[in-house]
Structure 1
């Protein structure tokens, strides 16, 4: 594994380490945020009948401007159950079924009613079928509503329900074990000496994964010893993904890789051409995907965004698990790029994007301010304001 692996190659190789997990069928309310394991086919037509799009009167278009005799009323859930004869109209409300014999709705703002006599005022409907939602306009029985691999957003759930579904086939939640390494780390809220640091990466990743279909086993802080790390890996056994944070570099106390190798793990790659996040490691151990994230907070966050989140999406059956970059325009100059693809923390500034001043991988203040990552390709030239760039929004 000489040299540094390009980011895109590393992402592909990571996703190739495991296939999506098993399927389960759950009540539709429990499917929010999951990815569909099977395409959804409509079991009904929406609307099932022609409906009024406005409050007004159901009429025949060719009888304008009237007069008509109002002979009944159609409300949502309480349709007028007779056929309108020539010269007749029915009071109708938004969402109500159109009576037989009517083809158009005269809106109430253009109607003048005196007792049961109705006349049109103003220009009236523009054509036959005006102000009517035709049957099947949204979808028809048998239509594919959502494709396999699509994530179930709140509108997607509403569509599935409207299509007649109460349960959906999705992938089961992904189990993730988190292992934070480092003798210098102490739990959140505990007083620190000058040589210690609060352990922020574990809670940060728990929060980062909060909107994904996962169960998280946070194994806390693990000492920088082979025995402690080996015990933590045993405790994480059976998880779909084992995430180690820190300890994957090349120092004497970076023990993650040697302990994994001693446990007969298969290391697929280690170190990638990315800034921040070069000491990223990926492999497998006893059926679990192992992802070794760097210990600096910005590096841990960015690599989790670009590798851990996509791996969870892939195991969950996503058809497009990798982050979707967007186009933006620079609002400030950026220097030339070295041999590694850079993901620069930035913010919006008047419709353009601007890099934050502090880009240290250990800088949490700048990370907390970041609204997006600006992707700068390896060996890229300096860029001036107005230059197009790819970005990855963080919210």
Structure 2
């Protein structure tokens, strides 16, 4: 057995970034940028008004007060989509609307609430400093500015930013194609007739969902029966994928054939056991350069292995910066006993304490057959090998089970 940290390092080191592809901006949501996005224009393109009111010369209103108002002649207007193209001289003003360009000769905006209009003149009741309510050109961004860096997730906000910068297409990482092979005579797909001694294959459905959420493209190759021919056929069908994941058959029983078939097909084995709980019988290696991750058949072990190994593996293929690793800290809400020689990933809920601190509460039962508890969990609390007993209030590391990939 190797430590979980060593297993993770070997897995990440074996991942190769996928190639870049160009997509239309509306299709970029949730994708990872392969190239920086540069602004194609300056925003705003000119000095514009932030309010509805009047564009004036600050020197004309510098001494204005309610007791000593100023009267200015209105000589035109500037509205969004238009402009006032003349020069504004002393004692003059231009009616202006939000987003409209500021006329030449003016340097401040008097909001309409601080004026009284009468025909072609206004009475200014409040003074305003130079630059008041004016958004200068380039306030948001300037042409050729790097707005989004390669490796960034295209959230809804980032899609909007690129659109505002007049960017219609972006280069993103191709979604990693990840082949899935479930194994076992006893498993059938959800909705199929369930025979004696059979179980539902939730793993492949769950893993497909995980892969999509993490930014990959699942290729479900179906269920391989517990014979060499069935498994070999599916392994060979996976060789055009970016990664292969097998589910089940990775242990040491008489019907656990995954390791045997993979080695026969030329797998360069890196390891086949990890000192972790759940998920000890994890296989990893390269098959003709393609990473292969063999997961246990237990659904919770699949879920934990996905959080610990698959998420960072896909991130590496998408060239997501290592600083985006999800490890976080919180305080224990309950006491815990000491740990044994395997690193444990305890399913737990996450909450906010009375003082605003993050609290984690591991479930009292950690049986790896309890998929309902795994679905209820918010995070995995990490207990190092031989960790001593811990008290409520102690700080622990945890892996959040949410990804936050698609955000506003």
The equivalent of 1:354 in structure 2 is: 361
Q: Describe the shift of the 1:168–1:349 C-alpha distance in structure 2 as closer, same or farther (beyond 3 A).
A: closer
Q: 1:77-88, aligned counterparts within 5 Å?
A: 77-88=81-92
The equivalent of 2:28 in structure 1 is: 31
The equivalent of 2:10 in structure 1 is: 13
Q: 1:258-273, aligned counterparts within 5 Å?
A: 258-273=260-275
Match of residue 107, structure 1, among 102, 106, 111: 111
Alpha-carbon shift at residue 322 of structure 1 (Å): 6.0
TM-score w.r.t. the length of structure 2 is 0.88
Q: Describe the shift of the 1:137–1:251 C-alpha distance in structure 2 as closer, same or farther (beyond 3 A).
A: same
Q: Describe the shift of the 1:128–1:337 C-alpha distance in structure 2 as closer, same or farther (beyond 3 A).
A: farther
Q: Describe the shift of the 1:355–1:96 C-alpha distance in structure 2 as closer, same or farther (beyond 3 A).
A: farther
Q: Distance in 1 between matches of 2:386 and 2:142?
A: 52
Query: What SS does structure 2 have at the residue aligned with 1:180?
Result: strand
CA contact (8 A) 2:2 2:271 kept: no
Q: 1:1-395, aligned counterparts within 5 Å?
A: 3-5=1-3, 7-64=4-61, 65=64, 66-121=70-125, 125=128, 127-193=129-195, 195-320=197-322, 323-351=325-353, 352-395=359-402
Q: Distance in 2 between matches of 1:111 and 1:358?
A: 70
Query: What SS does structure 1 have at the residue aligned with 2:205?
Result: helix
Q: Describe the shift of the 1:96–1:334 C-alpha distance in structure 2 as closer, same or farther (beyond 3 A).
A: farther
Query: What SS does structure 2 have at the residue aligned with 1:69?
Result: strand
CA contact (8 A) 1:179 1:232 kept: yes
Alpha-carbon shift at residue 207 of structure 1 (Å): 1.5
Q: Distance in 2 between matches of 1:299 and 1:84?
A: 74
Q: Distance in 2 between matches of 1:185 and 1:277?
A: 19
Q: Distance in 2 between matches of 1:381 and 1:100?
A: 73
Q: Distance in 1 between matches of 2:242 and 2:178?
A: 6
Alpha-carbon shift at residue 320 of structure 1 (Å): 2.8
Gaps of 5+ in 2: 65-69, 354-358, 403-408
Cα shift readout 1:103-146 (whole Å, capped 9, x = no counterpart) = 22223333333333333445x54x42122222112222222222
Q: Distance in 1 between matches of 2:95 and 2:387?
A: 67
Cα shift readout 1:60-91 (whole Å, capped 9, x = no counterpart) = 33332333222222222222223322222223
Cα shift readout 1:12-51 (whole Å, capped 9, x = no counterpart) = 2112213212222222222222222222222222222112
Q: Distance in 1 between matches of 2:123 and 2:383?
A: 66
Q: Describe the shift of the 1:107–1:320 C-alpha distance in structure 2 as closer, same or farther (beyond 3 A).
A: farther
CA contact (8 A) 1:330 1:354 kept: yes
Root-mean-square deviation (CA, aligned residues, Å) is 2.2
CA contact (8 A) 2:212 2:218 kept: no
Q: Which moved more, 1:208-217 or 1:276-285?
A: 208-217
Query: What SS does structure 2 have at the residue aligned with 1:273?
Result: strand
Q: How many residues align?
A: 390
Q: Distance in 1 between matches of 2:328 and 2:366?
A: 21
Q: Distance in 1 between matches of 2:284 and 2:169?
A: 36
The equivalent of 2:406 in structure 1 is: none
Q: Which moved more, 1:239-248 or 1:18-27?
A: 18-27
Q: Describe the shift of the 1:264–1:94 C-alpha distance in structure 2 as closer, same or farther (beyond 3 A).
A: same
TM-score w.r.t. the length of structure 1 is 0.91
CA contact (8 A) 1:174 1:316 kept: yes
Cα shift readout 1:185-237 (whole Å, capped 9, x = no counterpart) = 11102343562211101111112222344332211221111111111101212
Gaps of 5+ in 1: none
Alpha-carbon shift at residue 262 of structure 1 (Å): 0.7
